[in-house]
């Protein structure tokens, strides 16, 4: 299998593999939960409960996957995730009992914890070090189309052949497409290590232990809020819009704009916002959902389009911030394990978000949107409490006793 070494080709290959990974896992229940539940004689909520289990398992696997990427590089971990994805999807396609359903989703959760964005970000940082921001943005541009590709393809396969055959088809794609793509990734030949003395930063200082703890807590909180809002809106956006007075057909049409708005936000980050400090992008993105909620709350149906577009664009940029902010504050050494630890709260609240926000809609209708708006504001405040540079460590890549910075090869 040829190894592709040009950075832009690495982004292309990893982006395509990520699109497949997201389409065949995170976006699968939306199309298959109803036919699964009908065939197995269970409620659709039981299928989503099994999916929540997958998210919890992914949270537990994230730090281990990140630590492995720090040590060996991302290629073996991502190849392994394709194999586990294929096994989990095959098991899902063969499920005949509720216990089989939960075991299959737990196996898929292992693959999600080692094969979605966090693992891809760690792979890029392992290869490119402190210069990975643009590459991280690049792969999220591809990942933004996962629902655009995954939902229609899953629906078409289910309609033509059935949900079991659909799962088997996704499993085959992991073996025939995803695995070869990840096998083409460059091999990280050297491990990241801090130099004998901390490298200078934009502020000329490194994070003190107390500062590092505060930054870690703040980032973990921001990421958890981001995933809660994103997952809650993914599950309930048409219903929220209807609760504020938007007609059903219009609510569905507007909800479809979230994907393009996410991609537009990422294009903005890839082009214009690349010139500015990463914290500026994150702060602007964090305020977008609350501003959109205010427009919807004040204007009702006329403000619905503004809400959807602002939410989508902000969510798209915040996905990038999940990869770039830990790199900014803590540097490249140990990035994978740290990223996995920071995302544990996010994965856990993500698993509970559809249920909890659904309860809020049942109780308060469209007023439940103020919950997500307040959470979004709190995340923005947390980001503003972080200094613009915060003494972000910029560790060098050492090859020997030399203290000069050298890029990873391979």
**Do residues 107 and 227 both lie within one domain?**
no
Reported confidence tier of residue 300, pLDDT bands at 50, 70, 90: confident
* Residue 56 · residue 348 · CB < 8 Å: yes
Q: Rounded distance, CA 23 to CA 27, Å?
A: 5
DSSP 22: H
Nearest to 255 by CA among 131, 147, 329: 147
**Do residues 214 and 175 both lie within one domain?**
no
Q: Phi first, then psi: give them for residue 208, nearest 5 degrees.
A: -75, 160
**Do residues 178 and 213 both lie within one domain?**
no
How many independent structural domains does the chain possess? 2
**Do residues 170 and 306 both lie within one domain?**
no
Q: What is the CATH number of the domain that holds 247?
A: 1.20.1250.20
* Residue 243 · residue 371 · CB < 8 Å: no
Q: How many CA atoms lie within 13 A of 41 on its CB side?
A: 3
**Do residues 158 and 246 both lie within one domain?**
no
Among 166, 183, 200, give the residue marking a domain's end: 183
Structure tokens at 252: 């569905």
Q: Rounded distance, CA 93 to CA 171, Å?
A: 9
Quote the domain boundaries for residue 12: 7-183
Nearest to 318 by CA among 255, 262, 393: 262
**Do residues 147 and 246 both lie within one domain?**
no
Measured CA to CA in angstroms, residue 47 lies from 25, 50, 228, 345 at distances of 13, 5, 19, 22
pLDDT in tens, 203-222: 333 667 778 888 899 999 99
Tell me, yes or no, whether 371 lies in a domain: yes
Measured CA to CA in angstroms, residue 401 lies from 188, 195, 226, 336 at distances of 19, 9, 41, 24
pTM given for the model: 0.78
**Do residues 167 and 43 both lie within one domain?**
yes
Q: Rounded distance, CA 40 to CA 99, Å?
A: 11
Reported confidence tier of residue 131, pLDDT bands at 50, 70, 90: confident
**Do residues 176 and 294 both lie within one domain?**
no
**Do residues 215 and 165 both lie within one domain?**
no
Tell me, yes or no, whether 258 lies in a domain: yes
pLDDT in tens, 75-127: 999 999 999 999 999 999 999 999 999 999 999 999 999 999 889 999 988 88
Q: Per-residue pLDDT for 15 more than 50?
A: yes
Structure tokens at 31: 């199309």
Tell me, yes or no, whether 254 lies in a domain: yes
Tell me, yes or no, whether 194 lies in a domain: no
The pLDDT score that the predictor gives to residue 391 is: 40
- Lowest mean pLDDT, pick from 184-198, 253-267, 304-318: 184-198
Tell me, yes or no, whether 329 lies in a domain: yes
**Do residues 38 and 107 both lie within one domain?**
yes
**Do residues 153 and 214 both lie within one domain?**
no
The pLDDT score that the predictor gives to residue 186 is: 84
Q: Rounded distance, CA 162 to CA 157, Å?
A: 7
Among 148, 183, 218, give the residue marking a domain's end: 183
Structure tokens at 27: 């976006």
**Do residues 338 and 216 both lie within one domain?**
yes
Q: Rounded distance, CA 31 to CA 222, Å?
A: 29
Tell me, yes or no, whether 199 lies in a domain: no
Tell me, yes or no, whether 397 lies in a domain: no
Tell me, yes or no, whether 50 lies in a domain: yes
Q: Per-residue pLDDT for 192 more than 50?
A: no
């Amino acid at each position: 299998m040829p190894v592709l070494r040009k950075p832009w080709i690495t982004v292309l290959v990893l982006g395509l593999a990520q699109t497949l990974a997201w389409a065949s896992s995170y976006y699968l229940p939306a199309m298959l939960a109803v036919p699964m539940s009908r065939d197995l004689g269970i409620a659709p909520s039981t299928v989503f409960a099994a999916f929540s289990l997958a998210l919890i398992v992914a949270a537990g696997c994230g730090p281990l996957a990140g630590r492995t990427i720090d040590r060996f590089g991302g290629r073996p971990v991502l190849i392994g995730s394709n194999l586990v994805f294929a096994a989990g999807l095959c098991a899902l396609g063969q499920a005949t009992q509720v216990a089989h359903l939960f075991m299959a989703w737990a196996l898929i959760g292992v693959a999600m914890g080692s094969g979605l964005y966090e693992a891809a970000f760690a792979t890029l940082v392992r290869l490119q070090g402190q210069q990975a921001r643009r590459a991280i943005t690049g792969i999220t541009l591809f990942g933004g189309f996962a629902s655009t590709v995954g939902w229609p393809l899953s629906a078409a396969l289910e309609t033509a052949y059935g949900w079991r055959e659909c799962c088997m088809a996704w499993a085959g794609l992991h073996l025939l497409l995803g695995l070869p793509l990840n096998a083409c990734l460059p091999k990280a030949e050297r491990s990241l290590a801090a130099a004998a003395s901390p490298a200078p930063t934009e502020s000329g200082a490194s994070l003190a232990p107390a500062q590092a703890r505060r930054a870690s807590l703040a980032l973990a909180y921001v990421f958890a809020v981001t995933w809660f809002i994103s997952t809650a809106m993914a599950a309930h956006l048409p219903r929220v819009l209807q609760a504020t007075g938007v007609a059903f057909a219009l609510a569905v049409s507007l909800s479809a704009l979230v994907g393009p708005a996410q991609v537009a936000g990422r294009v903005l980050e890839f082009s214009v916002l690349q010139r500015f400090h990463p914290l500026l992008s994150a702060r602007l993105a964090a305020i977008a959902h609350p501003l959109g909620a205010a427009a919807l709350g004040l204007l009702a149906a006329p403000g619905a389009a503004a809400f959807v577009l602002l939410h989508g664009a902000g969510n798209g940029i915040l996905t990038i911030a999940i990869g770039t902010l830990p790199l900014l504050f803590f540097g490249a050494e140990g990035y994978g394990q740290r990223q996995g630890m920071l995302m544990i709260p996010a994965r856990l609240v993500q698993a509970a978000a559809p249920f909890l926000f659904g309860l809020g809609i049942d109780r308060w209708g469209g007023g439940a949107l103020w919950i997500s708006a307040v959470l979004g504001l709190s995340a923005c405040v947390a980001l503003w409490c972080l200094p613009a540079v915060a003494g972000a460590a910029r560790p060098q890549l050492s090859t020997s006793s030399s203290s000069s910075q050298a890029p990873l090869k391979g």
